Amino acid sequence: MARVTDPGYHRGRIPASKGRTYPVEILTPDEIRALAAQCSTTSSSGIRHRALIVLLYRTGLRISEALALRPKDLNLEVGAVTVLHGKGDRLRTVGIDPGAYPHIEAWLERRKTLNPPAGAPLFCTLKGGPMYSSTVRETLSRLAGRAGIEKRVHPHGFRHTHAYELMMEGIPIPIIQRQLGHASLATTDTYLSHIAPKLVIETMGRREWSP
């Protein structure tokens, strides 16, 4: 099975304790919904967790990029998210669909009531401090357990899932490249060949068999 291409780590691997590696596991839409459903709709942390899950899933941002966002980097009027310092310190603007807006807007409204300091990250602690990727990983693992999801759920998995869905929807590779922030088409092509073998799936799906 193909191994993960995870920016910041050795190509084709997800870091794990004691040198273990994990295969790519794509989440289904129902699994995403089940995960989000474990987030409280009344507590500030639950509203924040749900918004972060939705943003990662619907934009394909790296967790470092998502946690570095400021509220000003969102433009939900046009559906744009500006990443000021992506991999290689490159700036890019990605798209986000309207289905994600309600969850993000709910966090923006709750965030205002927390009165975070000026310049605080979009996804901040309840005291206005920065969040850490390790904390997000622990939270996702806990939520996945509650949701009964047997797959390994981690921040980069949403990026895999986003890329997979775009490929299976027939989105042109150059668009996927820009959305993911890859420096070259070759990188995107290699990335997708591991997680979204669209041609293979569609070809096998056209075969006929009557049991």
- CA atoms 177, 181, 186, 192: torsion sign: negative
Task: Walk across the sheet containing 80-83 and list its strands.
Answer: 74-75, 80-83, 92-95
103 included as an active-site residue: no
Give bridge partners of residue 75 from the DSSP assignment: 80
Cα–Cα nearest to 181, from 87, 95, 80, 89? 87
First to last CA, the chain: 28
10 included as an active-site residue: no
154 included as an active-site residue: no
Which helix (H) or strand (E) is 37 found in, with range? helix 29-37
Predicted TM-score (pTM) of the model is 0.85
Domains annotated for the chain, with CATH where assigned, are 26-200 (1.10.443.10)
Catalytic residue from among 103, 111, 154, 159:
159
The Cα-based distances of 179 to 4, 33, 170 in angstroms read 18, 23, 14
87 included as an active-site residue: yes
Residues, the chain, total?
A: 211
- SS3 track for 66-130: HHCCCHHHEECCCCEEEECCCHHHCCEEEECCHHHHHHHHHHHHHHHHHCCCCCCCCCECCCCCE
Residue 20: per-residue pLDDT: 57
Residue 210: per-residue pLDDT: 76
Catalytic residue from among 160, 162, 191, 194:
191
156 included as an active-site residue: yes
**CA angle (125, 126, 130) in 5-degree steps:** 20
Give bridge partners of residue 80 from the DSSP assignment: 75, 95
Residue 22: per-residue pLDDT: 66
Residue 107: per-residue pLDDT: 98
Distance CA 144, CA 35 (A): 6
Residue 86: per-residue pLDDT: 77
49 included as an active-site residue: no
Q: pLDDT tens digits for the chain (211 residues)?
A: 333 333 333 333 344 444 556 677 899 999 999 999 999 999 999 999 999 999 999 999 999 999 999 999 999 999 999 999 878 778 999 999 999 999 999 999 999 999 999 999 999 999 999 999 999 999 999 999 999 999 999 999 999 999 999 998 989 999 999 999 998 999 888 888 878 676 777 778 888 887 7
Residue 15: per-residue pLDDT: 41
Cα–Cα nearest to 166, from 79, 60, 63? 60
